[in-house]
Amino acid sequence: MLAYRISISGAAAQLCDIDVPRPAKGQVRVAIKACGLNFADLLMQKGTYQDTPPAPFTQGMEIAGIIDEVGPDVTHLNPGDRVAIYSGQGGLAEYGVFDADRAIPLPDSIGFEDAAAIQIAYGTSHIALDHRARLQPGETLLVTGAAGGVGLTAVEIGKLMGATVIAQARGADKLAVAQAAGADHLIDASEDLRIRVKDLGGADVVYDAIGGDVFKAAFRATNPEGRLLPIGFAGGDVPQIPANHLLVKNLTVIGFYIGGYLTFRPQIVQDSFETLFRWHSEGRIKPHISHVLPLSEAEKGLQLLRDRTATGKVVITP
């Protein structure tokens, strides 16, 4: 089978021809129909992601497909079942072997591409805003990088939760995408973020995927008792947070990493995904997928993330 792999740490990923794996105890083998790409895939290529597997490994963190074989002692899943799996690796391939307890059955109403696109981006925003930040109806949510893979879902979910959403992104086209997802106010990345947000009454919750100077500006525009979620650092710089300002304004900075919950509270992730798939079936959410590419163009898909030319998700279809 074909798989997009990092064979040696630090070396470029390549499309390789490898043996089809067999499931061991507690595992299932899935014929992969779709795999969502994530910024973390780029960090894995550089070895800087916190959960980079040891080489060799196949890239691709979230998949949807059809089970074609179950391992010993797996009784709750069967060949032919449609499932989604947040795997962390192994998704950019024609087949993959995954732990059965991570597989979530898919309703017939959701296609494989949407299922692959929902898990990490929507799961991150849903758990961050609901479980961690406790976003309340009527509060103001500021989302930076609002047209990106996770930012766009934060706009959509924030609006579903009853917040007034301020979206910051670069350029009219990306702002239009954020507006279509439900943003109430739009701020171009060329504008002074702090002044614009202050003029709109400040932010009660900040969902920041950029870091660096953008986080600093958002921090200064946060209302007293506000909560800040540093979700990622696509801008490159990890912000340093002035603790004295936290005290003066009674602010809370909330750490959140969805992968960590798979280790210490996996049910939080499972419950979130089931909620999101139900919302999709009800027509309440719809992932924005800007590109769907074959496995042979996996590197092209990742380049779209590097160049920040994609809006929403990029999905690979093995």
Contact between residue 41 and residue 302 where contact means Cβ atoms under 8 Å apart: yes
CA distance 13 to 5: 5
Contact between residue 84 and residue 273 where contact means Cβ atoms under 8 Å apart: yes
What structural domains does the chain harbor? 2-119+262-317 (3.90.180.10), 134-253 (3.40.50.720)
DSSP tag of 76: S
For the segment 132-176, what is each residue's pLDDT rounded down to a tens digit? 999 999 999 999 999 988 999 999 999 999 999 999 999 999 999
Residue 211's nearest CA partner among 156, 285, 145 is 145
CA distance 119 to 276: 8
pLDDT of residue 236: 67
Average pLDDT, the chain: 95
**Residue 151 backbone dihedrals phi, psi, to 5 degrees:** -60, -40
| 41 has a pLDDT exceeding 90 | yes
Concatenate the DSSP letters of all residues of 243-305 into one string.
HHHHHHHT-EE----HHHHHHH-HHHHHHHHHHHHHHHHTTS----EEEEEEGGGHHHHHHHH
Split at pLDDT 50, 70, 90, the class of 60 is very high
Lowest-pLDDT choice from 60-69, 87-96, 226-235: 226-235
Split at pLDDT 50, 70, 90, the class of 309 is confident
